[in-house]
Amino acid sequence: MHQRSAHRSLLVVGSVAYDDIDGPFGFHKNLLGGSASFIARAASYFTKNVAIVGVVGDDFEQHHLDELAALGVDVSGVEHATGETFHWTGKYSADLSSRETLDTKLGVFGSFAPKVQDKHRDAQLVLLGNIDPPLQMDVLNQVRAPALVAMDTMNLWIDIKRKELEAVISKVHTLMVNDEEARQLAQEHNLRTAATKILAMGPTSVIIKRGDAGALLFHADGVFAAPAMPLSDVKDPTGAGDSFAGGLMGYLAYAGDLSPKTIRTAMVMGSVMGSFAVEKFSVDGLRDLTAARIQKRFDEISSLVEFDRVQL
Amino acid sequence: MHQRSAHRSLLVVGSVAYDDIDGPFGFHKNLLGGSASFIARAASYFTKNVAIVGVVGDDFEQHHLDELAALGVDVSGVEHATGETFHWTGKYSADLSSRETLDTKLGVFGSFAPKVQDKHRDAQLVLLGNIDPPLQMDVLNQVRAPALVAMDTMNLWIDIKRKELEAVISKVHTLMVNDEEARQLAQEHNLRTAATKILAMGPTSVIIKRGDAGALLFHADGVFAAPAMPLSDVKDPTGAGDSFAGGLMGYLAYAGDLSPKTIRTAMVMGSVMGSFAVEKFSVDGLRDLTAARIQKRFDEISSLVEFDRVQL
């Protein structure tokens, strides 16, 4: 990939976890998971200026972090705490269209207080992965003047910490959620109306991730629909949204500007990385990608929506 | 709209019906419905070379047919039979995301035997709306050498007349179904794999309609994804798929060729007409459209998926 000198720095705060996943392809234990794991790996294909803040327990295998470091990710902000690594157990339906959480062990994440090192406080792009809203706010208070702060969240926080969550939402530029979360947050089924309601909470843009229906961006420049690649071979949807976010933010760091035009392309790069992620378990779909393979998938997604702008 | 001399003729076979619809906007009785009503009206904006074959009972109000005739639709193939017009009663969920059939009165449709008049037997484009598969086959046997035959179907026929349905599918060029029907027909959840299985049944293309997630076309030229317009004001999803089909086939008749390029544009015109249809009850969303309004919606949908084809 062509390297530009103007790469912006990307700071990612999120979970580094182990996942146990049951589903149509069997039961897989102790898979590397967590939002930061997917985000940083996806972003690393676009920029070497990525740092993560997170926490792992003393059961965590160091080679996972070594791998990220080898991809150019700054993992110095990952704390090593005494106790167990955050561990999620989930089960997918036979057709992979839905999942249920069977168990969540917070482990060292339960007492996590994210600390942004001084060298990362001037990050230009900040991605607050899906963690407890007060922790997201803590991070916001530690960074200086980011050009773009994006955040993710989930149904749990909308349910039990709406006030704290809304406080964070009011301070970020971009909220990225899936369709059900957008509906729940806005208390509105219609996605366009839900987006309007979310924008009224403060962010300048909202991105609604819709899985195999693509992703929608609503902002002052209008609406953009990033297509999703129709895939015949989907193994594990875990991390698709985080890989999308990583591709998007990584591309923004790479491109070095935040114009509406660049953001549209970044959305498609998000869709590209999400499509790779679901083809294998854990972060395996994001391993060993090349600029050529990323470009090929980008071109395939581009051709999906290629048509003549006719005049009647 | 610019009129071309080379307009191909479009023959539509389908239902002309009354719908009673319950949902979040109240209970509406005796709405004009039926696949042919939506298809012909949507197509009429693109070509005046549309004819319909169907049947109505003696309770049917003639002004509905007069209106279609005034739009240039040839309604001479609509039989007037003794008895009641096909009557469907359905109820939508509060968020319009699902519906159930409360009652179906076949009426005169129960003994309908479609007759294609000689003047319509050379139609170049044929659209077999969702009716009993043996009736679709009857029509196929009456037309001479259409350049394109497309068909729709529904879960009921997949359930109870799979063999007859597969016989029709094997003889058409294009199957248009929604995602659930595609899954049920192919007995496969993954849409891309389902499309591959359906193509193996004979058609050269399959179009999967996904409501607000757009529509997918699978054929030898690859995959095309027609975007859907995110709408804030959706009143009644009834007829959306038929309006899509009418816009698509109408545009093909207008364009006068069946190249992959033209088919892609036609898919987007289908999406345009589907988006108008759901904004009002019955065919009201398709009333009084102008070339300018259609062009504007087409341009809006185009801009939804506008992004730079970058090289990394």
Contacting B residues, span 271-290, partner chain A, CB-CB under 8 Å: none
Q: What is the CA radius of gyration of chain A?
A: 18
Give per-residue pLDDT as tens, A108-127. Answer: 999 999 999 999 999 999 99
Contacting B residues, span 28-57, partner chain A, CB-CB under 8 Å: none
Q: Quick check: B306 contacting A, CB < 8 Å? A: yes
Going by their DSSP bridges, the two strands A174-178 and A148-152 should be labelled as parallel
| ipTM entry | 0.94
Question: What are the angstrom distances between the C-alpha of B261 and each of A23, B246, B255?
Answer: 40, 18, 11
Contact criterion met (CB < 8 Å) for B310 and A265: yes
Rounded Cα distance, B41 and B279, in Å:
15
Mean pLDDT of the A130-146 span: 96
Q: Quick check: A69 contacting B, CB < 8 Å? A: no
* Contacts B289 to A, Cβ<8 Å: none
Give per-residue pLDDT as tens, A89-100. Answer: 999 999 998 999
Contact criterion met (CB < 8 Å) for A305 and B227: yes
* Contacts A191 to B, Cβ<8 Å: 212, 230
What is chain B's pLDDT, residue by residue, as a tens digit (312 residues)?
544 445 799 999 999 999 999 999 999 999 999 999 999 999 999 999 999 999 999 999 999 999 999 999 999 999 999 999 999 999 999 999 899 999 999 999 999 999 999 999 999 999 999 999 999 999 999 999 999 999 999 999 999 999 999 999 999 999 999 999 999 999 999 999 999 999 999 999 999 999 999 999 999 989 999 999 999 999 999 999 999 999 999 999 999 999 999 999 999 999 999 999 999 999 999 999 999 999 999 999 999 999 999 999
Which residues, 6+ apart, have CB-to-CB distance to A135 below 8 Å? Answer: A13, A112, A113, A114
| pLDDT of res. B6 | 55
- Answer yes or no: are the C-beta atoms of A103 and A88 closer than 8 Å: yes
| pLDDT of res. A1 | 53
Q: Quick check: A163 contacting B, CB < 8 Å? A: no
pLDDT of A11 above 70: yes
How far does the CA of residue B306 sit from the closest CA of chain A (Å)?
Answer: 8
Query: What kind and span of H or E run contains A152?
Result: strand A148-152
Looking at this protein, which amino acid is placed at residue A145?
A: A
pLDDT of A2 above 60: no
The DSSP code sequence of A97-115 is S-EEEEEEE-GGGGG----
Rounded Cα distance, B305 and B312, in Å:
19
Contacting B residues, span 184-213, partner chain A, CB-CB under 8 Å: 189-193, 195-196, 210, 212-213
Q: Left (φ > 0), alpha (ψ -120 to 50) or beta: where does B311 sit?
A: beta
Q: Quick check: A2 contacting B, CB < 8 Å? A: yes
- Answer yes or no: are the C-beta atoms of B45 and B269 closer than 8 Å: no
* Contacts B234 to A, Cβ<8 Å: 190
Q: Quick check: B221 contacting A, CB < 8 Å? A: no
Which candidate from B232, B261, B305 shows the least CB-CB separation from A305? B305
* Contacts A232 to B, Cβ<8 Å: 190, 192-193, 196
* Contacts B299 to A, Cβ<8 Å: 309
Question: What are the angstrom distances between the C-alpha of A23 and each of A20, A27, A34, B14, B157?
Answer: 10, 6, 18, 42, 31
The tokens for A54 are 């997170």
| pLDDT of res. A5 | 45
Question: What are the angstrom distances between the C-alpha of A183 and each of A189, B25, B72, B212?
Answer: 5, 20, 43, 15
Question: What are the angstrom distances between the C-alpha of A101 and each of A22, A112, A237?
Answer: 10, 21, 14
- DSSP assigned state of A261: H
| pLDDT of res. A4 | 47
Which candidate from B234, B302, B307 shows the least CB-CB separation from A190? B234
Which candidate from A216, A304, A310 shows the least CB-CB separation from B223? A304
Question: Which residue, among B307, B308, B309, B311, would best test binding to A if mutated, counting the most A CBs under 10 Å from its CB?
Answer: B307
pLDDT of A165 above 60: yes
Q: Say which residue the tokens 């892609």 belong to.
A: B264
| SS3 of chain B: helix, strand, coil, percent, to 5 | 40, 25, 40
Q: Say which residue the tokens 């048509």 belong to.
A: A307
Q: Domains along chain A?
A: 10-304 (3.40.1190.20)
Give per-residue pLDDT as tens, A35-90. Answer: 999 999 999 999 999 999 999 999 999 999 999 999 999 999 999 999 999 999 99
Which runs of E-coded beta strand occur in B113-192? 125-128, 148-152, 174-178
Contact criterion met (CB < 8 Å) for A261 and B307: yes
Rounded Cα distance, B268 and B252, in Å:
11
* Contacts B210 to A, Cβ<8 Å: 213
Residue of A nearest to B265 (CA): A307
Rounded Cα distance, B274 and B268, in Å:
10
Q: Quick check: A294 contacting B, CB < 8 Å? A: yes
How far does the CA of residue A93 sit from the closest CA of chain B (Å)?
Answer: 11
User: b vs e for B168-192, b when ≥16 Cβ sit within 10 Å of the residue's Cβ?
Assistant: bbeebbbbbbbbebbbbbbebbbbb
Helices (H), A44-169: 62-70, 133-142, 155-160, 162-169
Rounded Cα distance, A238 and A305, in Å:
26
